[in-house]
Amino acid sequence: MARPRPEPGPPGPQAGPRRPAARPSRVTSDPEVKAVFDGIAASMHATPVYTSGDRDRPAPGGARRSDHLAARAQDGHVQGHSDAQVFAHLKANPALVPARGYQVIHHGPHTITQGGHIHIGRAPDGHPRHSGPSQFLVEGLTPQTRGIYTVVKVAKRG
Ligand SMILES: [Zn+2]
């Protein structure tokens, strides 16, 4: 015997077109970005820790046109290492990140985002940043730089 299906609840204020069930996700659906993130952790002989991947809306404090919304970004940490250690390792070994189109961001303890982390993203095709050299940025390392993004390194032409 078929059970009666539960009545759907009233639509909330966010009701609208159905979003893909995969979003939001902790891990990016972009295999290239995931491979870069995993490669960074592997180069430190450690395990990647994923905190945020694909998003269906901007994160609190996050960019309105974030690479996360294009499913091309990964946030997280490397187990057993501080984000500062990971970022220093990346600046010393920039070839761990493709030379073009990527942004590596160290969101520090005073970040405007939800908490300190390492962000790896690549710009979508057609985006002005897509064909440009990859950039390494910091934000929120100090109370004074909360919400202020500073480029600290630009990849050499690949
Ligand atoms: Zn991010």
Residues lower than pLDDT 70 in the chain: 1-21, 157-158
How do the domains of the chain map onto residue ranges?
A: 31-154
Predicted pLDDT at 43: 98
How far is ligand 1, taken at its centre, from the CA of residue 119, in Å?
A: 4
Predicted pLDDT at 5: 58
CA 107 to centroid of chain Cα atoms: 10
Predicted pLDDT at 9: 46
> Which CATH architecture best describes the domain 31-154?
2-Layer Sandwich (3.30)
CB-CB contact of 100 with 132 (8 Å): yes
Predicted pLDDT at 109: 97
How far is ligand 1, taken at its centre, from the CA of residue 101, in Å?
A: 15
Rg, Å, the chain Cα set = 18
Q: Could you give the C-alpha distances from 58 to 40, 88, 120, 152, in angstroms and in order?
A: 25, 27, 16, 25
Q: What is the pTM of this model?
A: 0.84
How far is ligand 1, taken at its centre, from the CA of residue 73, in Å?
A: 6
